[in-house]
Amino acid sequence: MSVHLYNSMTRTKEEFKPLTEGQVGIYVCGPTVYGPPHLGHAKSYITFDVLVKHLRGRGMQVRYVQNITDVGHLTDNADSGEDKIQKQARIDRVHPLEIVDRYMFQYFTDMEALKIAHPSFYVRATQHIGEQIEAVQILLNKGHAYEIGGNVYFDVNSFPQYGKLSGRVLDEQREAVRVEARSEKRNPRDFALWKKAEPIHILQWNSPWGRGYPGWHIECSVMSTKYLGETFDIHGGGLENMFPHHECEIAQSECVTGKTFARYWVHNNMVTVDGVKMGKSLGNFKTCRDLLTRHSAEAIRVFILSTHYRSPTNYTEEAISAAAAGLTRLAVLKAFLETASKGTEGTNAVSCDISTLCHDADRQIGEALDNDLDTPGAIAHLYTFATAFNRLAAQTPLSPIEAREGLAVLKRWGEDLLGIVPVSAVGKGVADVEPLMDLIIELRKELKTAKRYDLADKIRDQIKIAGFTIEDTREGSRWRRL
Amino acid sequence: MSVHLYNSMTRTKEEFKPLTEGQVGIYVCGPTVYGPPHLGHAKSYITFDVLVKHLRGRGMQVRYVQNITDVGHLTDNADSGEDKIQKQARIDRVHPLEIVDRYMFQYFTDMEALKIAHPSFYVRATQHIGEQIEAVQILLNKGHAYEIGGNVYFDVNSFPQYGKLSGRVLDEQREAVRVEARSEKRNPRDFALWKKAEPIHILQWNSPWGRGYPGWHIECSVMSTKYLGETFDIHGGGLENMFPHHECEIAQSECVTGKTFARYWVHNNMVTVDGVKMGKSLGNFKTCRDLLTRHSAEAIRVFILSTHYRSPTNYTEEAISAAAAGLTRLAVLKAFLETASKGTEGTNAVSCDISTLCHDADRQIGEALDNDLDTPGAIAHLYTFATAFNRLAAQTPLSPIEAREGLAVLKRWGEDLLGIVPVSAVGKGVADVEPLMDLIIELRKELKTAKRYDLADKIRDQIKIAGFTIEDTREGSRWRRL
C-alpha cells in the first residue's frame, strides 16, 4: 500500500514519500480564463482530481492548490504577442475582469458538472502582484535577472541547471529562431519576469520598474511556494507546460530560495483530435459544455480514465460512447445492491466468497491506483468485480450485509474516487415529468371512457402525493404542479 | 420614464442622472466570506439585482462591481478583535483561504439559486493589496493619516466633512467609549487603514510599515474608484454599513482624490427577526440554503420585494408563505398564455382592450420601479394585470398574438426583472419521477387484474418515450431508466 508516481524530473517511477509524513502539498497549473474549458482541461483536472482523492483515500492530508491565470498570459508561448485575456476583452469590448469572471465561472461550473472536486483553494495571479514583484526584485538583487527599459528578464545563463526537467538543453539554437523578435534580451532563451505595460494594457500595476504586469511564469513560482513551502511535494500540470513553463518555474524558484522546488513532477499527456493536440489556440477543441449536452459526466470521466494519464487520449464521439457502454452494468448492480441492502432478514455473516471478492477488489483497484495512477487497470478490476459479484448473487440469495459490503466497494472506488457510476441512472431520480404526466392524463381519460371511475379517481388522488394536481375542464383534463 | 432614487447623502429622492449619459457605474458592498449567506444578504443582493436589471431595462449600460472581503474584516465593528476569516480558519484548523473559498462558493451558489445575476465582475480585497498600500501612502503623504508602531490610522479631524452621510457627527462621545481599547489612536473616532500583523496572523503582506494587512474600509475605496473612476454613480450597501463603513470610505476616497466619491448612495434596510436585526454575529440568522429547502427562489424573492427596500423586512416562515401564495396565479396565467400563443389561427389584430391592458401594465410597473424601486407597487400592478387579463380572456377567445403580448409583459417584469414567476411551475419541468413511476406501475397492475391488457401494454410501450422501461419479473414489475 504505497503510492508510486512517475516523476518527470527523474524519469522513473518512484515511491511517493511526502516531505512531512501524512501531509501532502500539491500545486497544479490551472486555466488561463479567456475561453471555455475543453476536453484537454477535463483530462488534466480529472487526472489530478483522482490523484488527490486517492492520496486522501490512502490516509494522507492533502493541501491542493490550483492557480487561475487572470492576467499576463501571452498569445504565444514566447514573450511576445498580446495578453490573451486583454485580447479577448478587446474583441468583446468589456473590461478584462469581465472576461476573467465569465470564463472563471464557466470553469467552476463545468468542472463541477464533471464531478471534479474543487482544490483546497484557488489562487489568482492578480491576487499576488506584490509577491511577484518581490520575487523579481530578489532575482535582480541576486544577479539572476536584468532590467531593460521597464522589462525584466531572467538570465538563463545564471542557472546552469536550466533544462533539467525537460532535457531541452540543446534546443537553444532552435529556440533562438522562434523568439528572436525580442531582440533586447541578452540571450534568446531568457524569459520575461515583468513586462512594461503599454497604455492600451488595462491590467497594469506600479512596480520598481514602472507600470507593468508580471511575465508568464512567475505567478506559479510565487503562489506554489507561498502556500506549500519553498520545497513542496507534487507539482502537476499538462505535458505541454513542461517546457518552457515548468522549466522557467524551477529556474525562478530555485534561484530565489536556493532550495529544491517541487520534489515530484507529474505531467498528464494531451488530448488529440486526429493525432493533433486539442487546444484553444489550435481551434480544434471540443468544449466540456458541448460534450456534456451529449454525454454524462460519468461517460466523459470513464473515457478519460480508460487511458493512462501519461498516454495521449484521442478524441472521437464514438470513443466516448464506447468507453461509456459498460457503465449501465455498474448502475444496475448498484441499484440491485441498494435494494438488497435495505432488508433486515438473513444472517449477519458474510459468505466467504463475497468477502474474498470484496477484499480482492479493494486490494486490486487500490494497487492499480498506487501504481502511478493506473486508472485503466482500476476500471478493469471494477468491471471484473461487478461481473463476479453478479455471478455469485445469481447463485445464492444475497443477505443485506453482503449487499452492503458489495455496495461499499462500488461506492468507494466507482463513485467517490473514479466518479464513473451513474448516480441516478436507475431508480430514484429527477427527470422531465412531462411525458409521464401526459401519459397519466391519457390513461385516466381511457379509464373514464371505460367507466373505471375508481381507477380514474385513484389517479387524481395519488397524483397529489407526487406534487401534482389534475384539473378537469371543459376542454379536457390539465395537470399542474401543486 | 426617468429613474428616481432616494439618495442617502442628500436625504431626498432625486432623479438619477449618470455622470456619462447612458452609462452607469455601481459598486455594492459584497459579503465577508466567513459564513453562509443568510436572508439579510438575500435582501441586499436581490435589491441591487433588481436595480441593475431595471437600469439596464431603461437602456443604460451598467458596470456593476461587487467586492468579496477575503481578509481583514474584524470581529466587531471597531478596530479591535480578531479577523473574522482568521478566526473561522482557526476554529476549522485550515488555511484561511480554504474558509474563503468554501464560503465564496457557497455565496455564488446561493445567489444563483435565488436567481440573482452575477455582477459584471467581483473584486477581492486580497487582489488589491498593492493598491491599498498605495492609497494609505497617499493619505500619509497628505497628512490625513499617521503611523504608530506598524499601525496606520486615518485622522478623522483632518476631514471636517466626516459624518456627512450618516449625520453621526455628534456621536463622538459615545463612539469614544466603544473603541477605547485602541488607546494609541490620537482620537477615538480615528480608524485603521493598515494593521500590524501578529505572527499568528496567516494572511499578511509586506508594506512600508512592516508586515500587516489592510484595515476594514480601505478595500472599498480603492476597488470602487479603480474600476468605476474617482467619482462614480451609485454606491450601494446595507443600511448597517452606512456608519462607520461608508463614512470611512468617503473620508479615505475624497482625501486621496480631492473629488466627490459616490454621487448616489443607496441603502437597503435590514431583515429583522422579532424586531431584531438578522446577522451572523447575532446568531439569529436563517441561511439562504436552509430557506431554499422549504421555499422556492420565487417565494423568497416575492417576500423580499413585497417590502420596499428602504423598510425593514420582518422574517417569519408564515410571512414567506403568505407572500408566495399568489404566485401560482402568475404561473397558471403564464402556462395558459404559452399554450394560447402557440396557435396560428385567429386574426393578427390585437384587441383594443388587450393592447391597452398590456401597455398600461408596462407603464405602471415601469413607473413604480422608476419611483425609487417601488417593488411592492410593481408587484401589485403585475397582479392587477394578471387578474384583468384573465377576465378579458374569459370574455372573448384569445388570439395567439394577443397571448404573446400578455406573455411579453409577464416575462419582462415578472420573470426577467422581479424573478417571481415560477418558471417550471406548470407544464414542462424536471422533478422526482419516482412517485409517478410507482403510480404508473400500480395502475398497470390493476389494469392487468382487470384484464385490460390493451391499456397495460400501452403503458409499457408509451413509457419508453419518457425514457423508462418496465420489466415484469416473478416478484412483480420494476421500472428503470432506459
> Do B355 and B281 reside in the same domain of the chain?
no
Of B246, B276, B294, which residue sits at a domain end? Answer: B294
- Supply the pLDDT for residue B426: 38
Q: Decide if B314 is inside a domain.
A: no
Residue A461 contacts residue B449 (beta carbons within 8 Å): no
CA-based nearest distance A341→chain B, Å = 17
Which pLDDT value is given to residue A469?
Answer: 79
Of B122, B332, B434, the CB nearest to A101: B122
Which portions of chain B are predicted below pLDDT 50?
A: 170, 173, 177, 424-430
- What confidence score (pLDDT) does residue B447 get? 85
For residues B442 and B468, membership in a common domain is answered with yes
pLDDT digits (tens, 9 = 90+) for A186-202: 999 999 999 999 888 88
* Residue B8 forms part of a structural domain: yes
User: Sign (positive/negative) of CA torsion B464, B470, B472, B473?
Assistant: positive
Q: What is the mean pLDDT of residues A383-397?
A: 89
Report CA Rg, chain B: 28
Provide, as residue numbers in chain A, all residues whose Cβ is less than 8 Å from the Cβ of B105: 108, 118
pTM above 0.80, yes or no: yes
Q: Is residue B134 part of a domain?
A: yes
B336 and B473 co-located in one domain = no
pLDDT of residue B172: 53
pLDDT at residue A74, as a whole number: 67
B276 shares its domain with B412: no
* Amino acid identity, position A452: R
The answer to whether residue A189 is domain-embedded is no
| Closest among B72, B242, B92, B57 to B167, alpha carbons compared | B242
Query: Where does a domain end: A365, A392, A417?
Result: A417
Cα torsion A8, A14, A18, A19: sign:
negative
- What's the confidence (pLDDT) of residue B173? 47
Domain count, chain A: 3
Interface test with B, best of A120, A121, A124 (most B CBs within 10 A): A121
A262 or A294: whose pLDDT is higher?
A262
Q: Is the dihedral of CA A229, A139, A237, A40 positive or negative?
A: positive
What pLDDT, on the 0 to 100 scale, is given for residue B439? 81
Nearest CA in chain A to B125: A127
Asked whether the predicted pLDDT for residue A54 surpasses 90, the reply is yes
pLDDT tens digit string along B218-240? 999 999 999 999 999 999 999 99
Backbone torsions φ then ψ of B233, nearest 5 degrees: -75, -65
Q: In the numeric block, which cell numbers belong to residue A40?
A: 484537454
Task: Check if the beta carbon of residue B366 is closer than 8 Å to that of residue B1.
Answer: yes
Whether residue A175 has pLDDT greater than 80: no
Q: A2 lies in a domain?
A: no
Q: Does residue B203 fall inside a structural domain? A: no
CATH of the domain at B229: 3.40.50.620
Chain B residues near residue A223 by CB distance under 8 angstroms: none
Q: Residue A329, Cβ neighbours under 10 Å: how many? A: 13
Structural domain span for residue A390:
318-417
The verdict on A340 and A398 lying in the same domain is: yes
d(Cα B410, Cα B412) in Å, to the nearest integer? 6
Inter-chain touch B440–A436, beta carbons under 8 Å: yes
Distance from A138 to chain B by nearest Cα, in Å? Answer: 14
Task: Indicate the average pLDDT of chain A.
Answer: 89
Check CB contact under 8 Å for B95 and A134.
Answer: no
B434/A431 Cβ within 8 A: no
Q: Are residues B110 and B37 in the same domain?
A: yes
Q: Say what the pLDDT of residue A77 is.
A: 52
Task: Judge contact between A84 and A342, C-beta under 8 A.
Answer: no
> Across the interface, do B465 and A100 touch by the CB < 8 Å criterion?
no
Q: Is residue A185 part of a domain?
A: no
The pLDDT score that the predictor gives to residue A168 is 85
| pLDDT at site A347 | 63
On whether both B234 and B376 belong to a single domain, the answer is: no
Q: State whether B436 and A435 contact (CB < 8 Å).
A: no
Residues A136 and A91 in one domain: yes
* B128-157 pLDDT, tens digit each: 999 999 999 999 999 999 999 999 999 999
Assess whether B413 and B447 both reside in one domain.
no
Provide CB contacts within 8 A for B55, sequence distance 6+: B3, B24, B26, B62
Task: Tell me, yes or no, whether A264 lies in a domain.
Answer: yes
Contact across the interface for A436 and B435, Cβ inside 8 Å: no
Whether residues A45 and A74 share a domain: the answer is yes
Task: Name the residue among A100, A121, A462 with its Cβ closest to that of B101.
Answer: A121
Q: What's the confidence (pLDDT) of residue B428?
A: 37
The number of helix segments (H) and strand segments (E) in chain B equals 16, 17
Same domain, A370 and A272: no
Which residue of A439, A449, A459, A473 to mutate against B (max B Cβ within 10 Å)? Answer: A439
Contact between A436 and B434 using a beta-carbon 8 Å cutoff: no
- A41 and A103 in a single domain? The answer is yes
User: What is the enclosing helix (H) or strand (E) of A256?
Assistant: helix A247-257
Q: Which of A246, A261, A294 is the last residue of a domain?
A: A294
- Which residues in chain A touch residue B480, judged by CB atoms under 8 angstroms apart? 332, 335, 426-427
CB B97 within 8 A of CB A121: yes
Flag whether pLDDT at A86 surpasses 90: no
Report the pLDDT value the prediction gives residue A429, as an integer from 0 to 100.
Answer: 40
At residue A468's C-alpha, the angle toward residues A464 and A474, to 5°, is 105
Q: What was the pLDDT predicted at A425?
A: 41
Using one digit for the tens of pLDDT, what is the confidence trace for A113-172? 999 999 999 999 999 999 999 999 999 999 999 999 999 999 999 999 999 999 986 455
Take residue B292 and report the three cell numbers written for it: 431554499
Question: Which of B439, B446, B459 is the best residue to mutate to test the A interface, defined by the most A CB atoms within 10 Å of its own CB?
Answer: B439
Neighbour count for residue A82 (Cβ, 10 Å): 15
Residue B355 Cα, gap to closest chain A Cα (Å): 26
Shortest CA gap A282–chain B (Å) = 28
